[in-house]
Amino acid sequence: MQQPPFLVGAPVLLLLVVVSSCPLLASGAGDGAATYIVYLDPALKPSPYATHLHWHKAHLGSLSVDPSRHLLYSYTSAAPSAFAARLLPSHAAALRGHPAVASVHEDVLLPLHTTRSPLFLHLPPYDAPDADGASTDVIIGVLDTGVWPESPSFGDAGMGPVPSRWRGSCETNATDFPSSMCNRKLIGARAFFRGYGAGGSGNASRIGVEFSSPRDHDGHGTHTASTAAGAVVADAGLLGYAQGTARGMAPGARVAAYKVCWRQGCFSSDILAGMEKAIDDGVDVLSLSLGGGLFPLSRDPIAVGALAATRRGIVVACSAGNSGPGPSTLVNTAPWVITVGAGTLDRNFPAYAELGNGETHAGMSLYSGDGLGDDKFPLVYNKGIRAGSNASKLCMEGTLDAAAVKGKVVLCDRGGNSRVEKGLVVKQAGGVGMVLANTAQSGEEVVADSHLLPAVAVGAKSGDAIRRYVESDADAEVGLSFAGTALDVRPAPVVAAFSSRGPNRQVPQLLKPDVIGPGVNILAGWTGSVGPTGLTVDERRPPFNILSGTSMSCPHISGLAAFVKAANPDWSPSAIKSALMTTAYTVDNTGSPILDAAGGNSTATPWSIGAGHVDPVKALSPGLVYDASVDDYVAFLCSVGTSPQQVQAITAAPNVTCQRKLSSPGDLNYPSFSVVFGRRSSRSSVKYRRELTNVGGDGGSVYTVRVTGPSDIAVAVKPARLAFKAAGDKLRYTVTFKSATPRGPMDSAFGWLTWSDGGEHDVRSPISYTWGM
């Protein structure tokens, strides 16, 4: 894989290539062979050689080395003239004596300087032996706004042939996306727009504007696909921020892009068509950072398509939604999908608002322009063209009084319109800067944006203080400063305030979300069609962008599911989900319980974090898993009131009668527990059944259970000890929950059930308790 170039003295530009793990390179060069990088003086290239490649091959031929077998790379852009080859030490010595050879160096392994998510998740370096297992055989299908194929995140350098089982293609009829745009990394690209074209007035004409091809003119799809499985890209960043080496969660995996969303949204008919084609094409993982609305599972196109995918052994991950922090706001709650919430990384982009009263308030920004220098400027708030209207507090389009804001910094409240649009409104009105202040709804969660004017976003507490200042001082002023990128931020992770929450209104006995992953200020690939703000006036075109949302956390989990599947190819989708859930952690990098950005940084509960924050390395060896089959999901559907006819229609299961149904939806063999007590004392006891499968090795193992939670809820697990004799063994247990004290319908409580072998494995499940939902 390529590493960043290093200039060591003109005119020779060096590029280090790590190739020693490729099996092709181990053959034919004899004992003691190694990979060497040979740097030539381009000015000395003899004229008979038409290209540098011909010259490089001639050097190897002079050593009786077959270029077709041993020439790995030929460079003319990253280096004026260099090549990498598998050689003996004697070959290297001979080349060093050639007058046209500037230098010869043996290949070395350099550490990655990651753009943060892989390091924060403790993923091993991609070029470490067996670090990514067989991930080059794993295919991730991304249903989104398409893909920008020229993004460096979809480069296929060093990748082997596309898996022979792949049945998809780069199928387009548009001139802007010929099939040649696909390669060994981006192996499929399709677009689905019939539902969109028929979905409303003007949509058909808008398809012509956005192009009826898989090309991404929005950026969202390129960002999610590269987050899941982007290639390793050196010197990545956004306008000077978050500099480092970018990579997806499973950089060796293949990507197939299915464009089912357009700038106006995603039609369910297109979504389902995309899922069908992805299933037929042969993907292993499906990633959907989309969804909305509360539908019965039998009418939810994502749930229906995901169940069909699960039947074919495909893992499906979906975003929980960005409607937090209110309760019961999550979507994509089917038990056969991984429902993903969002948390922060240990990286942010500090910026400061320095008030005229001496207070300094810390915030965040991705502004990359000249700034305001060290001067302070007048600060104004609620300077609208209409007296008595609060719209100017939100800096809505057309609300600011240009005469009152010209040459000043404007304080804008978050909400109502996009954060970057507020900055544009201020700029167009003549303002020179913006302080974007959270309200109580967003709490202390601050999201960084690449604004078009100097702007600092601050949390609710700082926002309240700045509002008090500007409303009490007619001569209020502020200075704005920007401090770049900060790492090792504490505490982290923190649950994002926007991340949608439980409890699950559709099926209260099913705890959702399942897990959280990084979803705040995530750097990934970007489209060349729009700027980082997405605003039409933004003419910047960086190859990477920083976004936030459960749309960003979802592809993290999709990529990590591919990472786990590569190491355990025989595991079912439910086993992979179980492994990610039961090994998740609930303690941040300060050793304290993970906090929630909403509600003043209170302790997060399973309604916001599910089982916790994913730990992909631990998920490779969970010890035990809660497995479930499609037949189990059919029984679940029957237990939530889906008619036999509906079940048969969405599962293709023959002769469904719903004679086999679960005693309660909570009886599904799931890695978490949602206990719903009745309001009456006669319904204060709930009993669930579970089955665990040993995946911890061939030897026997013994697990004992422990339960933590409220003191007034008694929990009895039978048996309390499970002795597995061999890998693949399955053992069952029951757990009975009894509430000693009746509570109200708005009350909730939480706990944990953990099976431990006393050593490497703690199989941990969250428990939520409610009364009379």
Of 60-64, 76-80, 177-181, 407-411, which range is least confident?
Answer: 76-80
Q: What is the mean pLDDT of the chain?
A: 87
pLDDT of residue 29: 41
523's enclosing H/E stretch is strand 522-525
Q: Which tokens belong to 652?
A: 């293709």
What letter does residue 234 receive in the DSSP assignment?
E
Contact predicate 82/38, CB 8 Å? yes
Residues 596-607, mean pLDDT to the nearest whole number = 89
Of 134-143, 261-270, 629-638, which range is least confident?
Answer: 261-270
Q: Count of CB atoms within 10 A of residue 718's CB?
A: 12
How many CA atoms within 13 Å lie on the side-chain side of 153? 33
Residue 607 has pLDDT above 70, yes or no: yes
Residue 637 has pLDDT above 50, yes or no: yes
Of 421-425, 426-430, 580-584, 683-687, which range is least confident?
Answer: 683-687
Residue 168 has pLDDT above 70, yes or no: yes
Residue 34 has pLDDT above 70, yes or no: yes
% of the chain with per-residue pLDDT over 70: 89
pLDDT of residue 298: 81
CA distances from 69 to 47, 66, 599, 653 (A): 25, 6, 62, 52
pLDDT of residue 153: 98
Residue 2 has pLDDT above 70, yes or no: no
pLDDT of residue 202: 54
CA distances from 508 to 608, 626, 665, 707, 769 (A): 15, 20, 9, 21, 10
CA distances from 343 to 225, 323, 592 (A): 19, 14, 15
Of 385-394, 533-542, 577-586, 649-658, which range is least confident?
Answer: 649-658
pLDDT of residue 75: 56
Residue among 486, 619, 116, 557 at smallest CA distance from 339: 557
- Reported as a pLDDT band with limits 50, 70 and 90, residue 409 is very high
Residue 366 has pLDDT above 60, yes or no: yes
Between CA 673 and CA 582 the distance in angstroms is 12
Residue 443 has pLDDT above 80, yes or no: yes
pLDDT of residue 109: 33
Locate tokens 């201020």: which residue? Answer: 426
- Reported as a pLDDT band with limits 50, 70 and 90, residue 110 is very low
Locate tokens 């003109």: which residue? Answer: 10
Residue 4 has pLDDT above 60, yes or no: no
Between CA 439 and CA 464 the distance in angstroms is 8
Residue 459 has pLDDT above 90, yes or no: yes
What confidence tens digit (pLDDT) does each residue in 731-765 have? 999 999 999 888 888 899 999 999 999 999 999 99
Between CA 253 and CA 251 the distance in angstroms is 6
What confidence tens digit (pLDDT) does each residue in 201-234 have? 455 555 554 557 899 999 999 999 999 999 999 9
What confidence tens digit (pLDDT) does each residue in 339-364 have? 999 999 999 999 999 999 999 999 99
Q: Which tokens belong to 142?
A: 């991304």
- Catalytic residue IDs: 144, 220, 551
Q: Count of CB atoms within 10 A of residue 110's CB?
A: 16
pLDDT of residue 273: 82
Residue 549 — left, alpha, or beta (φ > 0 → left; ψ -120 to 50 → alpha)?
A: left
Residues 674-703, mean pLDDT to the nearest whole number = 87
Between CA 194 and CA 627 the distance in angstroms is 37
Contact predicate 347/485, CB 8 Å? yes
* CA angle at 410 for the pair 409 and 416, rounded to the nearest 5°: 150
Residue among 248, 255, 181 at smallest CA distance from 211: 181
* CA angle at 427 for the pair 422 and 431, rounded to the nearest 5°: 105
pLDDT of residue 406: 98
pLDDT of residue 170: 92
Top mean-pLDDT range of 23-27, 90-94, 401-405: 401-405
pLDDT of residue 72: 79
What confidence tens digit (pLDDT) does each residue in 42-53 have? 788 898 899 988
pLDDT of residue 219: 94
